[in-house]
Amino acid sequence: MAKNRKLGRTTSQRKALLRGQTTALIHNGRIITTEAKAKEVRKMAEKLIAKAIKEKDNYEEVTIKAKVARKDKDGKRVKEVVDGKRVTIYDEVDKTIKKDLPSRLHARRQILKVLYPVTEVPKETAGRKKNTKQVDLVKKLFEEIAPKYAGRNGGYTRIVKIGQRKGDGALEVLLELV
Query: pLDDT tens digits, residue range 20-34?
Result: 999 999 999 999 999
* pTM of the complete model: 0.84
Query: What does the pLDDT look like over 155-170, one tens digit per residue?
Result: 999 999 999 999 999 9
Domain boundaries, the chain: 11-58+101-177, 59-100
Query: What does the pLDDT look like over 81-116, one tens digit per residue?
Result: 888 899 999 999 999 999 999 999 999 999 999 999
11-58+101-177 carries CATH number 3.90.1030.10 = yes
Alpha-helical regions (H) of the chain = 11-28, 35-55, 102-114, 137-140, 146-148
Residues 6+ apart with CB under 8 A from 13: none
